[in-house]
Amino acid sequence: MAKISASGEAIVRVDLTLRQGKLFRSGRMGDNMAEPIRSVTIVGGGTAGWLAALILNSGLSRSTAPEHALDVTLIESPDIPTVGVGEATVPNMPRTLIDCGISEAQFFRACNSSFKLGVLFDNWNVDREGRPICYLNPFDEPPVIDGMDLAAYMLRFGAGELEFAELCGPNLDLIHEKRGPRGFRAPAFAQEASFAYHLDAGKFAALLRDVCTERGVTHILDNLREVEQDERGYVTALQLEKTGRREVELVLDCTGFRGLIINEVLGTEFVSYADCLANDRAMAVQIPHQGEALEPGTRSTALGAGWSWRVPLYNRVGTGYVFSSAHRTDEEARDEFMAHLGPAAEGLEPRVIPMRVGRNREAWVKNVIAVGLSGGFIEPLESTAIHMVDMSIRHLMRLFPDASYPEPVRRRYNQRMERLYDEVRDFICLHYALGNRVDTPYWIDAREELAVPDSLAENLELWRHTLPSYHDMPTATLFSYRTYQAVLMGKRVYEAGYAAQDITAAFALNEEKWWAFVAEQRGRIATFCERAPDHRQVLRDIRGELSSRERRRLERGEVPEPVAVTGMQVSEHSLL
């Protein structure tokens, strides 16, 4: 309740008031507003640091009046190499490029990028005869038939030899036929079929750096030597080796797995996911293309103690092995991985990367926010590393604080990041919990010994009786219930006896409509794929390397001349 002072003014003790789009707590209304934050200092470069800088610069500097613009500074060590997170992305990446004002052609040329139409999972499960299963986790949302999920119809009536993904959209066919997701001369970012990108992590970070510095982000190449704190523990200044002392306001820690400020200075607790995700090491190498055809998809192939990724870029292939050190030594993993790659890897030596799998208890502590590997990491099975950086900065922009760093703002940010990491963790755990391989101790342990998070375990029990639904997902920023359906259907778990009952028994499904849908859908997909050009030729068109004469010949269906792709430059070995 408000009291009236002798002067007749209303004194509000604890009211929350909305002013200039922000909530603030005041004594006298309008008094004691905290000062706005004028600068953000990012410690660490690589993809995480430069993407954070670009999103902040695009959203909070370039879009506001000069007097309110945010000053962004990035401090990067000239001596510490970056891990190079991310050579594959998720479908929100085109939106990020658009928001940051990077043209698609510039991105494809600078990063040797290619299209990614989904993730193919090889040998993660076996069928009833023990044969390896290969399935696609598609980007297409499975269609709905008369208000009922595609999965329900397919479980009831089957689809012959067709895979679930072959009825979701054209992406699996496009991958098999090595075709692009859109035609020649299509508008930039046109989504004729859903897609993400593959990219060169080192070149992507360089592109982000160049764009940032052109737009006014301050870049300091120097080593951090000391972190100053006030009596409350807030970071007030950074002592740099060559350029000296630099005062700071809001700090983003992008120093990688080490978490130099968030963990080593502020002592933030790290929450390990090792009880439910066994893989803790990776090795990476780059190999040349074998032939000219360019597959527009990421491949994840299960090996004896983990899985190998394959990311085909325009000029080379990025590949690696994510494995459990409890089941393979580095030497054993290397031998297995190189045998898997065959002659393509002859003479190459993969780099081993220890992985800290989990997240910080709090991503935002005092005036420091951990972004990228400093904040957490989950094995890159679904290519989520760049997505996590992207979302962490988008959440920050929606919850951007004033100089008082309000506790409700920090708490809400931390809640959102916790939910995001746990969402990704649960989806990755799903792939192991529903595995059925018994040929190595690793795969038996992955299914029987690893803990299953309570949030996932409850759903796995439920899905023995009914298909995943919208109401089962507490958060679904990336993995919707239909994505879970695609994995369950792709792994064919219901065929293998996972269901405790006929989960479609209560549904009124029309078989005639089902087969009509199958015929129509496959007809639409066949027409689309017949029209879709070769993936490599689409990339050449976007890069500006395809002449008008060549394009006309390709559009007439003539066989293209062989293309010499050069420049398999070795950049950073990167985690997917």
Handedness of CA 462, 489, 449, 456 (dihedral sign): negative
Q: Assess contact for 296 and 180: CB atoms under 8 A.
A: yes
Write out 493-548 in H/E/C secondary structure: CCCCCCCCCCCCCCCCCCHHHHHHHHHHHHHHHHHHHHHCCEHHHHHHHHHCCCCH
Distances 324 to 262, 305, 355, 369, 534 between C-alpha atoms, Å = 27, 6, 10, 30, 38
Q: Report d(CA 182, CA 191) in Å as an integer.
A: 7
Q: Residue type at 542?
A: I
- Is-catalytic flag, 242? no
Catalytic member of 3, 116, 178, 366: 116
List, in sequence order, the alpha helices (H) in 65-192.
Answer: 93-99, 104-111, 150-157, 171-177
Token pair 């032939």 is at which residue? Answer: 291
List, in sequence order, the alpha helices (H) in 371-406.
Answer: 385-398
The C-alpha angle with vertex 437 and arms to 275 and 380, in degrees rounded to 5, equals 50
Distances 377 to 199, 215, 260, 354, 395 between C-alpha atoms, Å = 19, 30, 15, 11, 18
What are the beta bridge partners of residue 247? 237
DSSP string of 160-184? TT--GGGGT-SHHHHHHHTB-SS-T
What residues contact residue 21 under an 8 Å CB cut-off, 6+ apart? none
Active site (catalytic) residues: 116
